[in-house]
A and B are shown apart, each in its own frame.
Chain A
Amino acid sequence: MKTNDLVTMLATGPAPGNAHAPTYRFVAAIGWGALGASLLMAILLGVRHDFADAMLRPMFWVKLAYVVALATAGLLALSRLSRPGARLAGAGLALATPVLLMWSIAAIELAAVDAAERGTLVFGRTWASCPMLIAALSVPTFAAMAWATKGFAPTRLRLAGAAIGLASGGIAAVIYSLHCPEMAAPFLGLWYLAGLLIPAALGVLSGPLLLRW
């Protein structure tokens, strides 16, 4: 087929403008991913036993806002990176802001206690399992997001993979925060972030394979 004929073929027929962005795919991916993560957590971990008490503490809501902000920043970056030539427009700032705020709170908390107690604030009781569990809970969302991104046209595949990892890790962290008993800012600023960075690193590695089109 000659190029002219291809042009004619593409321009003929149903109105060229009838293609709508499959944004619903991202919505579906968030929904299915969050459902999958919730089921995984219900089976493996359960909700924290003092959930009702925890909800009365401001730090519970700070923690929730932190992970919601991280998930949102990942989604924002992903929605930019799914479109060819789109600028990242503030996605980096959206990602850095919750982290820097949490680190600021962490600095204040650390300064307020004796040196001997700082280790407890940083490591809590669950530092070894927390990043792994967040990464595990991110798996359903990661898969769903990769599928959703395939409906678009990412051209920077490693960055897009990283954004899928951050977004799915963020959603996983939201779900995990309902189980996790840790409330110290240094812990959240370090180990929750590590939990997001694991799927993000996997996204960087797998992006070129998963997202090619």
Chain B
Amino acid sequence: MRANEDRLRGLLLLGLSGDARAYGDFLDALSSHLRAFFRRRLAQLPDEVEDLVQECLLAIHNQRHTYETDQPLTAWVHAIAKYKLIDLLRRRASVDRLTEPLDDEHDVFSSADAEASEARRDIGKLLEQLPDRQRLPIVFMKLQGLSVVETARMTGMSASAVKVGVHRGLRALAAKIRQE
């Protein structure tokens, strides 16, 4: 568990310093841990697991600036995962289905589950609902891998508007997930 904390934290710190590959590895490992964490706690609602994993990944990405580098990563991830889980249960007004206590923060990295089931909600479809000034920068930069300059040329937007568009678009996406 301690090893997971160190490995994941190392990847995140590399990612935050600009290493996209390490950041991808971080999110990938994180999604396995989140999946196992939610599967155990949503035994009655297995269909919700993958949606919640995705919602959490997007939340963690959008809120990555709230991670303080001297803080245990486990505590940060656990607080977000627990918050999103309780938020989901509240939304479904089914807190009573919660069978296991949520209080052990060291639990979140103790197991991993790499086997993703199908998400029911399609984030790709939600993406299509975003306005062009947010959708196009995300499609060109984050799905097709173009650079800021190329995206700016393709869309006729300024480079800073492109970056703002990605940032705001991902936040808008997270908001759309919650409104569903």
Known: A7-B31, A10-B58, A10-B61. Contact between A1 and B76, CB under 8 A? no
Q: Shortest beta-carbon distance, A135 to chain B, in Å?
A: 29
Contact of A85 (CB < 8 Å), options: B78, B87, B166, B178:
B78
Q: A11-B23, A14-B166, A16-B20 are in contact. Are A155 and B124 (CB under 8 A)?
A: no
Nearest Cβ in chain B — how far from A159, in angstroms?
A: 12
Specify which of B16, B19, B27 is in contact with A10 (CB 8 Å cutoff): B27
Residue total for A at the interface (Cβ-Cβ under 8 A): 32
Mark each residue of chain A from 1 to 33: 1 if its CB lies under 8 Å from any CB of chain B, else 0: 111111111111111111111100000000000
Q: Are B63 and A84 in contact (CB under 8 A)?
A: yes
Selected interface stretch from B2-10, B93-101, B115-123: B115-123
Question: Is the Cβ of A13 less than 8 Å from the Cβ of B141?
Answer: yes
Question: Is A86 at the interface (CB under 8 A from chain B)?
Answer: yes
* Inter-subunit contact A3/B119 (CB<8 Å): yes
Q: Please, how many residues of chain B have a CB less than 8 angstroms from a CB on the other chain? A: 56
| A208 to B: closest C-beta gap in Å | 9
The answer to whether A1 touches B122, judged by C-beta atoms less than 8 angstroms apart, is yes
- Assembly CA distance A18 to B17 (angstroms): 8
Cβ–Cβ < 8 Å partners of B64 in chain A? 16, 19
- Taking a contact as CB atoms under 8 Å apart, the answer to whether B142 and A85 are in contact is no
Asked whether B156 is an interface residue with its Cβ less than 8 Å from the other chain, the reply is no
CA distance A10 to B23 in the complex (A): 9
Contact assessment for A12 and B65 in the assembled complex, using a CB-CB cutoff below 8 Å: no
Quick check: is A179 within 8 A (CB to CB) of the other chain? no
* Central interface residue in A3, A14, A86, A213, by most chain B CB within 10 Å: A3
Assess the B122–A13 pair: CB atoms within 8 A.
no
**A103 close to B (CB within 8 Å):** no
By a CB distance below 8 angstroms, the chain A residues around B123 are 1, 6
Q: How far is the CB of B36 from chain A (nearest CB, A)?
A: 13
Indicate if A118 sits at the interface (CB-CB under 8 A).
Answer: no
Contact A14/B143 with A6-B57, A7-B28, A86-B71 known, Cβ cut-off 8 Å = no
Does chain B have a CB within 8 A of A152?
A: yes
Contact A85 B105 (CB under 8 A): yes
A14 contact set on B, CB distance < 8 A: 141, 148, 163, 166
CB contacts (< 8 Å) of A1 on chain B: these are 54, 119, 122-124, 127
User: Which residue from A10, A152, A153, A212 sits with its C-beta under 8 Å from B142?
Assistant: A10
Interface residue B167 (Cβ < 8 Å from any Cβ of A): yes
Instruction: For B138, list chain A residues within 8 Å (CB).
Output: 9
A16 contacts B15, CB within 8 Å? yes
Residues of A within 8 A of B18 (CB): 15-18
Pick from A8, A152, A155: contact of B83, CB below 8 A: A155
Tell me whether A11 and B27 are in contact in the complex, defined as CB-CB below 8 angstroms, given that A1-B123, A153-B66 are known contacts.
yes
Besides the contacts A12-B142, A17-B17, A155-B80, what 5 more A-B pairs have beta carbons closer than 8 Å?
A3-B116, A6-B54, A12-B145, A83-B68, A86-B71
Q: Which residues of A contact B (CB under 8 A)?
A: 1-22, 82-86, 152-153, 155, 212-213
Report B's interface with A, CB cutoff 8 A.
15-21, 23-24, 27-28, 31, 50, 53-54, 57-59, 61, 63-68, 71-72, 75-80, 82-83, 87, 105, 116, 118-119, 122-124, 127, 138, 141-143, 145, 148, 163, 166-167, 170, 174, 178
Give 7 pairs: A residue, B residue, CB < 8 Å, sorted on A: A2-B116, A6-B58, A7-B24, A16-B19, A84-B79, A85-B80, A86-B75
